[in-house]
């Protein structure tokens, strides 16, 4: 869940609605073209590509809203699993059953787990995570008639997944020597509006049932990191419970992207998929740009996102992981 104390988005003027219709028409054309054409991804280099990551974002959105239990969700799960296996990761699914108060039904969630092991598998286990579901309702949309429809979730969902898959490709190409677990959590975004209930269900389930199988020593979560005006600040919970990891990551990120990773902390807590791990004493940070007017609206579509933002975050994460390994070996 993101901070429910945020101000509700103001009503748009009539001209804004005309603009949204145009965006919707363009997006429909995009859905058609992406649903029936393969990815134009080249794997010739071993650097993080924002263009490649953006194509991964677009492909997820082409399936439609990835609401748990929907055909779009099933198609996207197959897509994520296929991409990870193509890279060479060991992949498994973790299913769990919950009653969703928001959807008013029993729902099966699916966490997707991709395990990478380098030449030194005895090293500690680093977790990189994102949620891959999209919100079942657009409860913050300015148009009341659209608030009960599911959202595409280009930034809130697809951006984190896209960055994770591209990081996995680069990690494999560059032969990272350690172990990394890539976690794609379901049912992060089906919480009750204005409440702390029923958010982050996939990460909570994993943390409650799987840490004995996967003894994670630290983690980084990616959420809403694709918007065009990128600005990432540490939030209060991770500063309190993972101060060293927060400090180390920001120091590393600011070497390459000081304009986008800001030292000044957010004045509030963000409840996200890092929280279940922090509760169990595992250092885990959350990379999120919460200043995003399209959040939980029908306007959270690919044209609100930027390949450049994905690349900034992806490169910063890769630099940190490799730099940390060098320190670990010493």
Q: Which structural domain range is residue 306 located in? A: 14-329
Q: Using H for helix, E for strand and C for coil, what is the string for the chain?
A: CCCCCCCCCCCCCHHHHHHHHHHHHHHHHHHHHHHCCCCCCCCCCCCCCHHHHHHHHHHHHHCCCCCCCCHHHHHHHHHHHHHHHHHCCEEEEEEEEEEECCCCEEEEEEEEEEEEECCCCCCCEEEEEEECCCCCCCCCCCCHHHCCCCCCCHHHHHHHHHHHHHHHHHHHHCCCCCEEEEEEECCCCCCCCCCCCCCCHHHHHHHHHCCCCCCEEEEEEEECCCECCCCECCCHHHHHHCHHHHHHHHHHHHHHCCCCECCCCCCCCCCCCCHHHHCCCCCEEEEECCCCCCCCCCCCCHHHECHHHHHHHHHHHHHHHHHHHHHHHC
Task: Say which residue, 70 or 15, is predicted with more confidence.
Answer: 70
- Answer yes or no: is 253 within a domain: yes
pLDDT digits (tens, 9 = 90+) for 125-175: 999 999 999 999 999 999 999 999 999 999 999 999 999 999 999 999 999
The pLDDT value recorded for residue 120 is: 80
- Answer yes or no: is 126 within a domain: yes
Task: Say which residue, 69 or 1, is predicted with more confidence.
Answer: 69
Q: Mean pLDDT of all residues in the chain?
A: 89
pLDDT digits (tens, 9 = 90+) for 81-128: 999 999 999 999 999 999 999 999 999 999 999 999 998 877 799 999
The pLDDT value recorded for residue 123 is: 73
pLDDT digits (tens, 9 = 90+) for 315-325: 999 999 999 88
- Answer yes or no: is 1 within a domain: no
- Answer yes or no: is 9 within a domain: no
- Answer yes or no: is 46 within a domain: yes
Q: Looking at the predicted structure, is the pLDDT value of residue 289 above 80?
A: yes
CATH number, residue 237: 3.40.630.10
Q: Looking at the predicted structure, is the pLDDT value of residue 25 above 50?
A: no
- Answer yes or no: is 94 within a domain: yes
Which range, of 3-12, 69-78, 116-125, averages the lowest pLDDT?
3-12
Domain count along the chain:
1
The pLDDT value recorded for residue 232 is: 98
């Amino acid at each position: 869940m993101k901070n429910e104390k945020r101000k509700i988005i103001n009503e748009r003027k009539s001209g804004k609605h005309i603009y949204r219709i145009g965006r919707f028409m363009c997006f429909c054309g995009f859905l058609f073209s992406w649903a029936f054409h393969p990815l134009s991804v080249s794997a010739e280099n071993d650097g993080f590509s924002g263009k490649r990551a953006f194509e991964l974002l677009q492909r997820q959105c082409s399936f439609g809203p990835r609401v748990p239990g929907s055909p779009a969700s099933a198609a996207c799960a197959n897509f994520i699993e296929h991409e990870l296996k193509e890279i060479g990761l060991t992949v498994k699914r973790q299913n769990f059953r919950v009653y969703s108060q928001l959807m008013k039904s029993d729902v099966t969630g699916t966490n997707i787990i991709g395990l990478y092991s380098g030449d030194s598998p005895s090293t500690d286990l680093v977790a990189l995570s994102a949620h891959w579901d999209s919100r079942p309702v657009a409860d913050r949309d300015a148009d009341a008639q659209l608030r009960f429809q599911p959202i595409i979730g280009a930034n809130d969902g697809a951006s984190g997944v896209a960055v994770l898959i591209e990081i996995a490709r680069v990690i494999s190409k560059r032969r990272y020597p350690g172990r990394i677990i890539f976690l794609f959590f379901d049912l992060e975004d089906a919480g009750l509006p204005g409440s702390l209930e029923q958010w982050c269900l996939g990460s909570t389930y994993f943390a409650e049932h799987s840490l004995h199988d996967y003894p994670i020593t630290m983690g980084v979560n990616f959420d809403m990191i694709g918007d065009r005006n990128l600005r990432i600040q540490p939030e209060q919970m991770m500063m309190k419970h993972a101060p060293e990891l927060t400090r180390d990551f920001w120091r590393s990120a600011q070497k390459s992207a000081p304009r986008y990773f800001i030292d000044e902390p957010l004045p509030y807590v963000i409840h996200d998929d890092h929280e279940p791990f922090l509760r169990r004493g595992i250092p885990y940070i959350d990379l999120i740009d919460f200043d995003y007017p399209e959040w939980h609206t029908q306007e959270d579509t690919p044209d609100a996102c930027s390949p450049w933002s994905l690349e900034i975050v992806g490169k910063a994460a890769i630099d940190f992981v490799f730099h940390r390994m060098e320190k670990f070996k010493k």
